[in-house]
Structure 1
Amino acid sequence: METWILITIAAAFLQNVRSTMQKHLKGVMGTTGATFVRFGFGLPFAFLYLALLVWVGRSLPVPNGTFFLWALVGGLSQITATFLLVHLFSFRNFAVGTAYSRTEPAQAALFGLVFLGEKAGPGAIVAIAVSVVGVMLISVARTALSVRSLVTSVFTRTAGIGLLSGTCFGLSAVAYRSASLALAPSLPAPDYLMQAGFTLGFVILLQTIVMLAWIALGEPDELGRIRAAWKPAILVGFVGASASFGWFSAMTLQQAAMVKVVAQVEMLFTFASSFFVFREWITRLELLGCLLIVFGVVVLIVQ
């Protein structure tokens, strides 16, 4: 199995752990605070990863204008996507809420084509399509199932928030890949770990500054709630930064859309969390949708 696939599966597991803990934090702080924790408390760990890479003798890249542009686009898009995803937890259960944002592989493929000229092969297109159908099934699993409900499900308020979250996640994935690849010419040889580590360090610093300013100006009371929950927040930051390092590494090695399709295995971890942690029941259609998502991943891996 290729390295990027193994990295992606590990990152998907870590991201689910982070999302599970963020939902718990949502009970003691607002959406903005729970979103900030993902970045602010992950910053020290992102710098630690970068410092370790330098310590073992890897060369630091020299950023250029292209890097800064894509890092800015990716960082702001991810803030928006994370905010929408955390907000989405207020509407439906944990598994279904996360599922709406899982259309990001298809959207990442589109952004990759538009901005990078990356074309998906027939097998990849099938994998993306099957995964998206799985997401649609999950979205209507608790309503009367019909062709109309499958189509109209994407026009509900909840679906709109989730789809927009997926759009922002898809855009940020392509932007991060573009930023990381822009660093390669300044290195003695391509080094996906350093490219990923440097991109992560810069982006998470940017996100921390933006979110901290936002909270200080608009929701200053949230700072007190964040301080009160600093212990679980540190764990969220560590797991989140670790997951991001995995994503950035995988997307440096492979097209963002391909990485995001394999990342759909997160739904397996999500359903496990939904059932065992939050005691939320899973319907047959939700299970079928999950199986379709996994099937899409398998199609991509074996093609």
Structure 2
Amino acid sequence: MAWIPITLLAATFQILRTARQHELRRYLNVNAAGFVRYAYGFPMALVAFAITFVVFRAELPTPPWRFWPIIAGAGVAQILGTLALLRSFQLRDFAIGTVYVKTEVILVAIVSAVALGEPLAPLGWVAAIVCMVGVAWLAAPDKLSDVARSAADPAALMGVAAGLGFALAAAGIRGASNSLGDAPTWNRALVTLTAMLAIQALINGAQLALFDRAALRSVAVHWRPALPVGVLSLAGSACWALAVTLTSAAKVRTLGQVELVLAFAISAFWLHERHRRAEYLASGLVMLGVVGVVALG
């Protein structure tokens, strides 16, 4: 059951990182704010890699050929998910954007069932649907009959896109880590994380170098507010990778939705954003579905 405290740590690191990343929009555009987590996270991952496998001479897993396309796909999915998430924040606000991403609860369950053969139990699917109703209500907080008219809400669409990206990334990380055989859990998680961050830093960095060099320079210029994002990103990513190495991606990502509670606390007390009662009730329904998936899935 070690995956439970590790997942809770991952959720805490993630919501703190996302909040700091949201604040970076004062200095950086969406693409550059997304790149920060790879630009500053990858060097730190390399340090952890060197300490583990060079200093302590731990067993280094040998990746099979299938490891590379899986982890590359996971890395690209996470890049696109991060960009969609930041865009959702921009269109609405931090807490509501965070809740839209909770469509990941169903999406990661579907991806896990199809790609990894790890489906939820029947009651787990019911709880996941409850979670989705909460998300729909959040898209139309005044009355649920507005859901159809709000289906094309750009913030909702970006949040769902982010959820899909993160679901694919979670399943890909588990699949890549499992392909490394019977090496110790930490070793497999660290190799998987370092490889993914390297790919992400290369792809996103090359894209900025080719099409938005001013944004790339801004990432370096604003290193002081950006550095904590890198630290929190690495800590959160390491915990996620370790957790999905220990158990199914659907269980890990569902339990991780406790970050929703943290999101509203940060939104109210740190970012000074205000929300209506209906939005809190809808978010509570999302959390009820999350708890149901954890307990019954």
What TM-score does the superposition give when structure 2 sets the normalisation length?
Answer: 0.94
* Equivalent in the alignment of 2:69: 69
Question: Is 1:179 paired with 2:172?
Answer: no
Q: How much has 1:300 moved relative to structure 2?
A: 3.7
* Equivalent in the alignment of 1:201: 194
**Percent identical:** 32
Q: How much has 1:171 moved relative to structure 2?
A: 0.9
* Equivalent in the alignment of 1:23: 22
Take 2:192 and 2:165, find their aligned partners in 1: how far apart are those partners?
18
* Equivalent in the alignment of 1:94: 94
The one-letter amino acid paired with 1:112 is S
Structure 2: tracts of 5 or more residues without a match: none
Q: How much has 1:56 moved relative to structure 2?
A: 4.0
Distance 1:152 1:263, change over 3 A: farther
* Aligned-partner SS, 2:66: helix
CA contact (8 A) 2:254 2:294 kept: no
Q: Superposed, which structure 2 residues align to 1:167-246 within 5 Å? A: 167-184=164-181, 189-246=182-239
CA contact (8 A) 2:74 2:173 kept: yes
* Equivalent in the alignment of 1:282: 275
* Equivalent in the alignment of 2:82: 82
| CA displacement, residues 189-208 of structure 1 (integer Å, 9 cap, x when unaligned) | 34221111110000001100
Q: How much has 1:53 moved relative to structure 2?
A: 2.9
* Equivalent in the alignment of 2:266: 273
* Aligned-partner SS, 1:249: helix
Take 1:124 and 1:197, find their aligned partners in 2: how far apart are those partners?
30
| CA displacement, residues 200-257 of structure 1 (integer Å, 9 cap, x when unaligned) | 0000011001111111110011122112210121110010011001111111112111
Take 1:70 and 1:219, find their aligned partners in 2: how far apart are those partners?
28
Which moves more between the two structures, 132-141 or 226-235?
132-141
The one-letter amino acid paired with 2:157 is G
Take 1:16 and 1:159, find their aligned partners in 2: how far apart are those partners?
19
* Equivalent in the alignment of 1:122: 122
Take 1:158 and 1:38, find their aligned partners in 2: how far apart are those partners?
22
Q: How much has 1:89 moved relative to structure 2?
A: 1.5
* Equivalent in the alignment of 2:241: 248
Q: How much has 1:57 moved relative to structure 2?
A: 4.6
Q: How much has 1:168 moved relative to structure 2?
A: 1.2
1:162 to 159, 162, 166: 159
* Equivalent in the alignment of 1:53: 52
Take 1:251 and 1:297, find their aligned partners in 2: how far apart are those partners?
17
| CA displacement, residues 156-206 of structure 1 (integer Å, 9 cap, x when unaligned) | 22211111111111111111110110012xxxx342211111100000011
Question: Is 1:149 paired with 2:146?
Answer: yes
CA contact (8 A) 2:88 2:156 kept: no
Distance 1:253 1:87, change over 3 A: same
CA contact (8 A) 1:99 1:139 kept: no
Distance 1:58 1:122, change over 3 A: farther
The one-letter amino acid paired with 1:158 is A
Question: How many equivalent residue pairs?
Answer: 295
* Equivalent in the alignment of 1:43: 42
* Aligned-partner SS, 2:254: helix
Q: How much has 1:46 moved relative to structure 2?
A: 1.4
Which moves more between the two structures, 109-118 or 196-205?
109-118
* Aligned-partner SS, 1:291: helix
Take 1:14 and 1:176, find their aligned partners in 2: how far apart are those partners?
18
Q: How much has 1:50 moved relative to structure 2?
A: 2.4
Question: Cα RMSD over matched residues?
Answer: 1.6
Q: How much has 1:302 moved relative to structure 2?
A: 3.6
Take 2:71 and 2:217, find their aligned partners in 1: how far apart are those partners?
30
Take 1:123 and 1:245, find their aligned partners in 2: how far apart are those partners?
30
Take 1:98 and 1:154, find their aligned partners in 2: how far apart are those partners?
17
Take 1:124 and 1:51, find their aligned partners in 2: how far apart are those partners?
41
CA contact (8 A) 2:85 2:97 kept: yes
Take 1:112 and 1:149, find their aligned partners in 2: how far apart are those partners?
31
